[in-house]
Amino acid sequence: MKNICILSNSIKDENLELGKKIRGDIARLAGEAGIEGINTPLLDLCDDDDIDTEGIEAIIVIGGDGSVLSAAKRTIGSGVPIIGFNLGAVGFLAEVEPADMENALKRLLEDDIKIEERMMLQGSVYREGKIVESGIALNDVVISRRGDMMLSGYSISVNGSYLSDFLADGIIISTPTGSTAYNLSAGGAIVKPDARLIQMTPVAAHLLNNRSVIFSGDDEVAVSILPKGRHPVATGVSFDGNQHVVLQEGDMVKVTASGQVTRIIRLSDDGFLQILHKKMV
């Protein structure tokens, strides 16, 4: 592997110092291995500039899980696999810890890697029957109240069939990859990340039975915003924690599996349960 783009989050990597070091390490390791023609563009993930993936074989993302999500969204459709170098807290997506970075670089140069394809979600906001906004997410689509402390009302249907109404702070619709993100904090199930399914988890629902529901990856989950009388609750939807859209009473958010996938580079020989154990102890 000779063409590796480095995307560094300058909020966590001040002045891209680690990114520069990694670029230097790649050049050194390539020289030691007799690999010529190395190309390692270094970009700031926080810039709004386009990311040119032409000819790129892999992308190193320096930051945390949020940085990997941002990189996945900004390179969607390219098919270029991503590997996260963790400067964050938990690091389910950003697998490589600082102590393991040089070994990870050696394995990238030698093509000694595994690639997992992770499903993504496509969400569309319908208002009076028309799509007014759409978004894509690797982790989750979250519909939730904004600002005040009043519960929002949500009506859930699946494939056009009514399921239930909820009074809650919000509704999380997550992928298996996103099961260890906000979904986990809200009490949802942990799912093996290469599975294909959609999980719905209410957030602080005003019900005795406050459980996640898991659907097929081929299902369509629709969340309608219920009216709240004289005091409407400000509600919105976000895709992977950004691209926030303000919702109105009567709006419907339809979520399905996307035709796009994110390709994640894995180096660890540990299974998912072993990785989960390391992250949770």
Catalytic residues: 65
- How far apart (Å, rounded) are the C-alpha atoms in residues 135 and 265? 24
Tokens standing for 93?
Answer: 């997506």
- How far apart (Å, rounded) are the C-alpha atoms in residues 45 and 136? 19
CA dist 273 → 162, 268, 269, 278 (Å): 35, 12, 11, 9
Give the burial class of 205: count Cβ atoms within 10 A of its Cβ; 0-12 exposed, 13-18 middle, 19 or more buried.
buried
Question: Dihedral of the CA atoms 88, 93, 99, 100 (nearest 10)?
Answer: -160
Q: Strand 130-137 relative to strand 42-44: parallel, antiparallel, unpaired? A: unpaired
- Quick check: helix, strand or coil at residue 215? strand
